[in-house]
Amino acid sequence: MMGSVSAIATIFFLLSSLLLASSDALERPPIVDGLSWNHYFRNCPRLETIVRTHLQKVFKKDTGQAPALLRIFFHDCFVQGCDGSILLDGSPNEKSQPANIGIRPEALQTIEDLRSLVHNHCGRVVSCADLVVLAAREAVSLTGGPRFAVPLGRKDGLTFSINATRNLPPPSFRTGQLLETFAARNFSTTDVVALSGAHTFGRAHCSTFFSRINQTDPPIEPSLAKNLSNTCPSAQAPNTAVLDVRTPNVFDNKYYVNLAKRQGLFASDQDLFSDSRTKGIVKSFASNEKLFFNSFADAVVKLSQLDVLTGKQGEIRAKCSVANKGKEGLVVTSVVENAVDLRGHMSH
């Protein structure tokens, strides 16, 4: 009798979960063929719990790894799709390129640690590409941002690209240049402004914003300019500055409040408040955090599906930094052009 009660309870729980999932799916953005919202439901049901639990411990010791993991996600997806190519070793490789300055080795190691934990628990069924996406999602939600579902089922690529990293726009880009580049990948103006909100935490090297210190277009708040000048007496100074002067370790909407007060660190940030196409969106996100969170989640889900490998494409790596069967080090030069990364010049 006890066994049947337990079985009924289990069935009821599963049915309830499915009903909630289908209701939630009505509000979810569309996904590409080969990905699904419950891809690991059968072969690794504790995947997200394993990732979340480990990252809670990591962030407790090192809050800077949260923006670092989000940055790795952006860098991976915008070069040749979300295929884990940025994780591959090689000489040269993607992560060593100038556009990827400051990518933290600790964050790369965290992804490898996640792979080891997950593969030990479930076997080699989860790709490094999916772990990059999950780590980025947890980096947001565990630091105060929205919790949202991400579709899974990506395979890892066998190659990486050197050339495509050269297309990552610098932090000096103006809004028109960003909008044009994003539009080529079917991102809307709202998507661009929402993804820019990733600058709500993290740090940047002096070389990436030194030219901004004395700018008048876009304008910079005088006290911020003075502080940055003290921090960075030259572009070569080895120091860093926070991207968000209000809540540098929290994922929230204060980034947009900063822009309204001329306190955006990069020209590409501050110009969003100067350009008529984006100023209204900045204001709406500054006054409505929930609206920002929803828009950011939708944009991340869209971003996470760029040029993914699924099904029989790609592989599931046994180690994130090495392609299986000795295929590491292959370089792709004919890749998607106009790759974008709003965090391409940050250190965390």
List of E strands, 147-250: 203-205, 240-242
Contacts by 259-262, CB closer than 8 A, 24 or more apart: 259/286, 260/286, 261/221, 262/218, 262/219, 262/220, 262/221, 262/224
- Nearest-CA neighbor of 213 among 247, 193, 248, 237? 237
Q: Is 348 designated active site?
A: no
- Nearest-CA neighbor of 132 among 336, 334, 300? 300
Quick count: other Cβ atoms within 10 Å of Cβ 162? 17
Instruction: Give the separation between CA 83 and CA 81, rounded to whole angstroms.
Output: 6
Query: Encoding tokens for residue 112?
Result: 């490898």
pLDDT in tens, 120-164: 999 999 999 999 999 999 999 999 999 999 999 999 999 887 666
Residue tagged active-site, from 75, 119, 205, 345: 75
The identity of residue 218, as a single letter, is P
Please tell me whether residue 140 adopts helix, strand or coil conformation.
Answer: helix
For residue 329, name the pLDDT band (cuts at 50, 70, 90): very low
Q: Which residue has the higher pLDDT, 28 or 296?
A: 296
For residue 326, name the pLDDT band (cuts at 50, 70, 90): low
Mean pLDDT of 22-47: 82
Q: Which residue has the higher pLDDT, 193 or 168?
A: 193
Parse the chain into domains and list their residue ranges: 33-168+304-326, 175-299
Residue with token string 């900063």: 258
Instruction: Please give the pLDDT value at position 341.
Output: 33
Instruction: Please give the pLDDT value at position 335.
Output: 33
Measure Cα distances from 204 to 4, 67, 198 in Å.
Answer: 59, 11, 13
Domain 175-299 fold: Peroxidase; domain 2 (1.10.420)
CATH architecture of 33-168+304-326: Orthogonal Bundle (1.10)
Quick count: other Cβ atoms within 10 Å of Cβ 115? 24
Mean pLDDT of 257-279: 97
For residue 59, name the pLDDT band (cuts at 50, 70, 90): very high
pLDDT in tens, 70-93: 999 998 998 889 999 999 998 888
H-helix segments, the chain: 2-25, 47-61, 65-80, 105-122, 128-141, 175-183, 189-196, 206-209, 222-231, 254-260, 267-274, 279-287, 289-303
pTM: 0.85
Quick count: other Cβ atoms within 10 Å of Cβ 338? 15
Q: Are 40 and 47 in contact (CB under 8 A)?
A: yes
